[in-house]
Structure 1
Amino acid sequence: MTQTPTTPPPESGAPGAGVPPPFPFPIRSALDPSPEYALLRADRPVSRVTLPSGDTAWIVTRFEDVRTVFHDARFSRQAATREGAPRLMPGVEADPDSIVSKDPPDHTRLRKLVAPAFTARRIAGMREGIQRTTDELLDAMEAGGREGDLVSGLSAPLPIITICDLLGVPRSDQDRFREWSDTMFRTSADALGEAIAAREALIGYLAAMVQGRRAAPTDDLLGVLIAARDEDDRLTERELVSFAGGLIVAGYETTANRLANSVLVLLRHPEQLRLLRGEPERIGDAVEELLRYIPGGAAGGLMRVATEDVELGGELIRAGEGVIAVTNAANRDPAQWDDPDRFDITRKPQSHTTFGHGIHHCVGAQLARLELQVGIATLLRRFPGLALGAPEDRLPWKKNVVIHSLEALPVTW
């Protein structure tokens, strides 16, 4: 449960209110949002903060306000990539060629090109392959005895295999993609150079893949995107490579961490775990509750920039100012959910903000849901005696990363 803090909430952006507090807030619990959010939702739902870059921005914490930021065209992702725009991290520039950095009409053009690869029918057709991969990974864990590491055994390899197979990346290279993705999410000042180098290595590899696919066309997703690029230039070369790189990073890192954290949450709540074991048909609702309940990244969202003055949550956001819609806070808003800090897989499914909202709703949301459903359901069915293999307070968490992630999750069965 989230503890209610007794310290005053951070200062707002009102004149004379003082220097905005530093953000992201300290991570006190990897499975609970920062307690500052509860105070902000109640008293200052739109509040100024100081970012690691030294820039200031607004953070938005109430569910309805977060959805407004997501769908209101006056809060621009594209403007956040321009020179002089507020930055979350020092030295890290937003990729202007990424689909998540585009506004209409460019975003509309890119979304139409990539959406057919993620239709409900196509994703459903991937179930068999995801199930096979999950079974193979659990077979290998089981062959190792009665204990193992769920991160290296299942939660990390399953999504990287899935997304790389989708793009046509050889399995012999998939460990390299995992390493690059892990490195790119480091946020400490001394690791910044490594993060930039990892991104350049990933982009360079994908650019070489594109050239190889032109010489020997394929019918995987990368081949389809290349065909769209070469047919009538609807997709620029940089957009193609950027989309493929973004898909690997987002499709691997977020799903891998969510899968490991989901298992830990279920083990934390044995009554909910018993319910899911006894009624496995609840797996869809359980995954939605896990997506709502578990915090995402430390910042909780991507930077947007107001293109004109906008009043939101009682504050006037000026044109050119940065805005971060914090999904971690929105997903625990008591105005949207009864007792939101309680984990309950029997909740009636409702909209959460984990996959965003509006035109930037995650294109791979259904694929992530499928991986989580298959991975969790198969794990619980195969290992009915699943239990933590170490005290929870001794579990190793990665430091200085954007996403809350376990380095390892020792389990027994």
Structure 2
Amino acid sequence: MTTTRAAATDLDPIPYPFNEAAGLGLSDLYEQIRNTPGMLRVTLPYGEPAWLATRYADARFVLGDKRFSRAMAEVRDAPRQWPVIRPGGILAMDPPDHTRLRTLVTKAFTVRRVEQLRPRVIELAESLITGLIEQGPPADLVEEYALPIPVAVICELLGVPTEDRPQFRVWSDNALSTTGLTPEEMAQNQEDLRAYMGKLITEHRAAPQDDLMTALIEARDVGDRLTELEMVDLCVGILIAGHETTATQIPNFLWMLLENPDQLKKLQTEPELIPNAVEELLRFTPLGVGASFPRYATEDVHVGEVLVKAGEPVLVSVGSANRDALKFTNPGVLDVTRENIQHLGFGHGVHHCLGAQLARMELQEALRVLLARLPNLHLAGDITWKTQMIVRGPRTMPIAW
């Protein structure tokens, strides 16, 4: 494909997304588009055409500018990879409603609260690795290590009983599916998850606990700052978002390090670099098949050289923006010693990931324990990659040591 300035305003948008579902490669088209003035018009499998922001400056601008709305996507034929428009919860809200809900949750994810959770994460990671060593190789890194850590932490924060966690995982996978379910099945999955969460809220009302859900119930019942449905959907969103990306990035990060053995060796000999390495891996790893969650211009807005007219959607490719040579030196190189890594892996602006500190901590300790306890870690077979999901990563990852 040859992309030109004329193509950026062409009436015939280009099919999107570009990345393959299997693997973690970033399509070469992104670099070609970044080197072309303006933005590109794209069309996804469903919904109306959109502009695609691929450069760091454009991406950060769209994510941070209050003239772009997420809430408009709820009433439009939003560009998307799946057939139905799903309830977006807090991710589909604009201020002031977004601010009201976000303020209630942020206290659970402060740096201080996250640091209080760090010993629990270390204990869990150590216990899981001890179990792997005792049973002997091979093992599935995803099922036996990457998933249990964030699932346990977020479920404990919300008071989800241990025996319910397998069912929760099924609901969560379904919620993040792109084409694996029919619209009817997707709607039923949403209702089942809401019903479960409503039941859990009822149980917490009857027997309050020292967890995030009880705090949200108090805000709902005493302060009247949440509707019942808002509280249900907020808990559903926290439950899903609080584990899926972290559980996916643990094997993603290992795969990237195995593909860059010099960087893996550096971390094994200099584990103090792991916090910085997590930031670099967040920059370097393009998590999605393509950009999701469109932002709609509420008025005419210039994004770089392009006039985005009121009512037009813009998709932001974080994976592409994090590889922009105008922002990062040698962006296509994984460098765990890179300094001042201002990546967009957690977004930017009002929708910056509220669990970013928790995710960072979990990724740091999961990687630290893994590399320290299994110094000869290597693949023991073929990876099975997720398909028909919003996020990319191994579904199974056989390892030995």
Q: TM-score, normalised by structure 1?
A: 0.93
Deviations 1:272-322 (A, max 9, x none): 111101111001001001100001222234211111111112112111111
The equivalent of 1:80 in structure 2 is: 73
The equivalent of 1:149 in structure 2 is: 140
- Give the counterpart of 2:223 among 228, 232, 252: 232
- Give the counterpart of 1:406 among 376, 394, 397: 394
- Give the counterpart of 2:62 among 69, 73, 76: 69
Which amino acid in the other structure matches residue 251 of structure 2? Answer: A
Is 1:288 matched with 2:288? no
Paired residues of 1:288 and 1:349 also in contact (CA < 8 A): no
Is 1:314 matched with 2:309? no
How far is 1:29 from its partner? Answer: 6.2
Question: Aligned partners of 2:83, 2:224: CA distance in 1, in Å?
Answer: 32
Question: Aligned partners of 1:247, 1:190: CA distance in 2, in Å?
Answer: 22
Deviations 1:104-161 (A, max 9, x none): 1111211211111111000000001111111221122122113211011111121111
The equivalent of 1:329 in structure 2 is: 320
Deviations 1:149-174 (A, max 9, x none): 10111111211111111111011111
Question: Aligned partners of 2:148, 2:185: CA distance in 1, in Å?
Answer: 22
Question: Aligned partners of 2:172, 2:181: CA distance in 1, in Å?
Answer: 17
Question: Aligned partners of 2:255, 2:386: CA distance in 1, in Å?
Answer: 15
Any unmatched runs of 5+ in structure 1?
Answer: 1-6
Kindly indicate whether structure 1 or structure 2 has the higher relative contact order, using CA contacts under 8 Å at least 6 residues apart.
2
Deviations 1:58-81 (A, max 9, x none): 110110111101110111011111
Question: Aligned partners of 2:99, 2:175: CA distance in 1, in Å?
Answer: 27
Is 1:199 matched with 2:199? no
Question: Aligned partners of 1:92, 1:195: CA distance in 2, in Å?
Answer: 8
Which amino acid in the other structure matches residue 332 of structure 1? Answer: R
Paired residues of 2:15 and 2:44 also in contact (CA < 8 A): yes
The equivalent of 2:125 in structure 1 is: 134
Which amino acid in the other structure matches residue 141 of structure 2? Answer: L
Deviations 1:343-376 (A, max 9, x none): 1101003210010111111000000001100001
Is 1:8 matched with 2:30? no
Is 1:48 matched with 2:41? yes
Which amino acid in the other structure matches residue 81 of structure 1? Answer: E
Alignment of 1:265-304 (within 5 A): 265-304=256-295
The equivalent of 2:368 in structure 1 is: 377
The equivalent of 1:3 in structure 2 is: none
Any unmatched runs of 5+ in structure 2?
Answer: none
Question: Aligned partners of 2:71, 2:331: CA distance in 1, in Å?
Answer: 33
Q: After the TM superposition, which of the residue ranges 45-54 and 215-224 deviates more from structure 2?
A: 45-54
- Give the counterpart of 1:247 among 234, 238, 245: 238
| Distance of aligned partners of 1:194 and 1:28 in 2 relative to their CA distance in 1, 3 Å threshold | closer
Paired residues of 2:295 and 2:313 also in contact (CA < 8 A): yes
Q: After the TM superposition, which of the residue ranges 184-193 and 61-70 deviates more from structure 2?
A: 184-193
| Distance of aligned partners of 1:371 and 1:339 in 2 relative to their CA distance in 1, 3 Å threshold | same
Cα RMSD after superposing both structures: 1.7
Give the fraction of aligned pairs with identical amino acids, expressed as a percent.
41
Deviations 1:184-215 (A, max 9, x none): 22212654443333222211110111111111
The equivalent of 2:25 in structure 1 is: 32
Question: Aligned partners of 1:69, 1:8: CA distance in 2, in Å?
Answer: 26
Aligned length: 400
Question: Aligned partners of 1:35, 1:248: CA distance in 2, in Å?
Answer: 34
The equivalent of 2:247 in structure 1 is: 256
Paired residues of 1:12 and 1:44 also in contact (CA < 8 A): no
Is 1:92 matched with 2:80? no
SS in 2 for 1:407: strand
Q: TM-score, normalised by structure 2?
A: 0.95
